[in-house]
Chains A and B, each alone.
Chain A
Amino acid sequence: MDSTQLTTLTGVIDKKMNRQLKQYLDICARCAICKDACHQYVGTGDFKYLPARRAELIRQIYKKYFTKTGEFVPALYEARDPDENLLDELYDSTYACTGCRRCMYYCPFSIDTAWILSVAKAILIAAGKGNEMLGQLADAAIFKGDNAEMFNDVMVSGFEDIQEEVRAITGNPNSQVPVNKEGADILYVALAGAHSIRPAAVIFEEAGENWTISMFEAANYGFFYGDVEKARLITKRYIDEAKRLGVKEIVVPECGHAYRVAEFFYEAWSKEPMPFKISHILEKVDQYIKSGRITVDKGLIEGKVTYHDPCQLGRNGGKFEEPRDIVKAVTDNFVDLTPNRAEQWCCGGGGGIVAMEEFKDVRLASGIKKVEQLKASGATVLACPCENCRLQIEELNEVHELGLQVWQVIDLVVAAMPLKGTKPTHV
């Protein structure tokens, strides 16, 4: 391979090097205990999806260019150049990875394969092999941030439509979807789409919350794409908005990576302390229910209900109990999946994979564990607080004819609230 490209790609590793990465690359024993942890390897049996193998590709470059033993005896480590062969396999194994970190949970050394793959993504991008779809979606989000006024009118009129729907549900003509409200306590950063805003608005309004809706969506394709600068700019859109409006707290919607980005990544990207409290919407809803700010009735939800922990919210975000408490507050007929919480199987839809058509086959095959879990639970209703999980599980639901209703948790809550208006049907 030509030396300029080689210098560029090894330069990426050098720039991204940190203690954890170095240790992960130095200590992996290739014991392959991770093989049974990965839904993609289990679902496909394809060697390239074995977590240690994904990391091994980066290790091969690292050994050759960052260690003396690998430099002198590359054959000992199968150390090699980041050539086309390596990059092609790396593309598949990296962009297919949902970043669920289930392999890290079971690893005797807690090696974070997803962290190693964040370097893999940077290498692929530097080699001009970043995933185009994710890159374009990220650029579109940044464009929207740079040209916010261009989108203002259409956004505001969209929020007005949602406000009408909210009033129909609450039966209260004063219910609002506040836009650009200075001095609000909470900035709710939703997902693109009324489904993410409507039930949240009903709950905030019924709880008497002082909130306002963000002009920007919480989804972050820069994060999935693997470009830290793009990811930072996308998040910065609502951080700046929150500063401008003077809110105290940013609430992220039912989206796994949005919470992790805001709570765990943004400080590192922006190199400044997060000036706001970050909450997941289900933390707020759980508090509203427990403090009596909203009322929910058991018995309004029909069927046996189960709950799927999105990896970024559960194992990687620590929100295991709040969503469960909410679900248990709206039904007595609750059953947990097995395994659950930190050991929950990834549904196979994370990491932006649902947006990449080329990985459809591996994505569906990787959902087999989730399908088995759902069948074994005997549930007819699934509460799932993550958009990507829902898209994946709805597709699995169709393919495997599970006959499952897949709900957002906030939709379940609204359905269980005794409101004067018209009951929303399940979307």
Chain B
Amino acid sequence: METYLWITSVWGIYLTAVVFFGGMAWRIYQWATTPKSPVRLGMFPKPKSGAGRFGKLLADTFIAPQSAKIEPTMWIFAMAFHVAALGAFVGHLRLIREFPLLPAWLGEAGMNTFAAWSGSIAGTLMLVGVLFWIARRTFGPYKNLSVPEDYLLLFLLLGVIVMGDHMRFVYGGVVHAATYREWFVSLLTFKPEIPAELLASNVGVSLGTHMLFTDLLLMYFPFSKLVHAIGAFSSNLVRSE
């Protein structure tokens, strides 16, 4: 298990970081160096001021009100997934340092309870979202639109979420943020080590598999349609040009 963790959760993460950040930089460079469309591709109604355009960009990108209007079901699941993913990301920041204020208010036990609840909700919503998408792609009348890339990404996401949920639901009461933080901060300071608590139970297998899927997902990220995470800003901005 120790070898598995060293591969997926130490060296794998370093490799992923290089591929992910390098890939995203390369992607942005490619977009930035391709000349703009000679034709203004905006549509109406179009905000007149710069602030209006910026506001519309934020609303279109983060809320997608038009999409909500035409397909509310899809919008609810997509919104739930993205908000939960954002919540999960924020929760994972505890890997770097403990949140300010919250632990002081809640106490150590309170903080663990809070993390258990919020992590469980986020993890469940993401799981539901991904299962909905898999079902929609597989059984929808337009399933022919899907290509293997779509299923690969959903499979990787499913792996990340299921193993994350496994750690949250099965080992949530056993291993707390401080232990994971010890491991993650050691990576950030380039003195990688794997704490004994992670090797003492099967939580190490869960973490290793969670990280395996995460590594694969993030390494593929810059070369997949997931670049909509950054591309959506400029493509939505063009709408107001």
Contact = CB atoms under 8 A, between A and B. Distances in A.
B142 A47 contact: yes
Interface residues of B, number: 49
Given A30-B145, A50-B142, A110 B39 contact: no
Contacts, number: 145
Interface string B34-47: 11111111011110
B155 to A, nearest CB: 12
A19 interface: yes
Contact of B225 (A26, A108, A265, A269): A26
Interface string B44-62: 1110000000000000110
Interface stretch (B100-108, B175-183, B197-205, B229-237): B229-237
Contacts of A24: 235
Contact of A31 (B43, B78, B227, B235): B78
Contact of B142 (A35, A314, A342): A35
A111 interface: yes
A23 B234 contact: yes
Contacts of B34: 17-19, 22
B144 A47 contact: yes
A160 to B, nearest CB: 39
A320 B148 contact: no
A32 B142 contact: yes
Contacts of B231: 23, 26-27, 109
A23 B43 contact: no
B109 interface: no
A47 B61 CA distance: 27
Q: Identify which of A23, A37, A343 gathers the most chain B CB atoms within 10 Å of its CB.
A: A23
Given A31-B78, A77-B149, A20 B37 contact: yes
B147 A36 contact: no
Contacts of B224: 69
Interface in A6-32: 17-24, 26-32
Contacts of A111: 235
A317 B44 contact: yes
Interface stretch (A98-106, A205-213, A346-354, A360-368): A98-106
B67 interface: yes
A359 interface: no
A150 interface: no
A27 B147 contact: no
A50 B37 contact: no
Nearest to A110: B239
A106 B67 contact: yes
Number of chain A interface residues as a range? 35 or more
A67 interface: yes
A56 interface: yes
Contact of B60 (A30, A110, A316): A110
Interface string B64-96: 101101110010001000000000000000000
Nearest to A101: B43
B238 A315 contact: no
Given A30-B146, A318-B45, A318-B46, A265 B39 contact: yes
Given A22-B30, A50-B142, A110 B236 contact: yes
Nearest to A111: B235
Q: Identify which of B35, B64, B147, B224 gathers the most chain A CB atoms within 10 Å of its CB.
A: B147
Contacts of A108: 60-61, 64, 66-67, 78, 232
A22 B43 contact: no
A320 B228 contact: no
Given A19-B31, A268-B39, A52 B239 contact: no
A315 B148 contact: no
A108 B150 CA distance: 17
A101 B40 CA distance: 14
Contact of B145 (A53, A265, A318): A53
Nearest to B233: A109
B31 A78 contact: no
A77 B239 CA distance: 27
Nearest to B146: A30
B117 interface: no
Contact of B140 (A32, A77, A101): A32
A20 B41 contact: yes
B45 A320 contact: yes
B82 to A, nearest CB: 10
Interface in B141-163: 141-142, 144-150, 152
A247 B34 CA distance: 38
A44 to B, nearest CB: 13
Interface string A32-70: 110111000000010100101100100000000001110
Contact of B37 (A18, A30, A343): A18
B223 interface: yes
B223 A68 contact: yes
Contacts of A31: 74, 78
B223 A69 contact: yes
Contact of A315 (B44, B64, B67): B44
Contacts of B140: 32
A20 B145 contact: no
A27 B44 contact: no
A29 B43 contact: no
B46 to A, nearest CB: 6
Given A22-B34, A23-B235, 5 more contacts: A19-B32, A27-B235, A30-B150, A106-B67, A342-B45
The 8 closest A-B pairs by CB, nearest first: A268-B38, A318-B44, A27-B228, A27-B231, A108-B64, A110-B239, A20-B37, A268-B39
Interface of A: 17-24, 26-33, 35-37, 45, 47, 50, 52-53, 56, 67-69, 75-78, 101, 104-112, 115, 264-265, 268-269, 271, 314-318, 320, 341-343
16 contacts: A18-B34, A18-B36, A20-B36, A20-B235, A23-B31, A27-B228, A33-B70, A53-B142, A78-B147, A108-B232, A109-B231, A110-B60, A110-B236, A111-B235, A271-B38, A318-B45
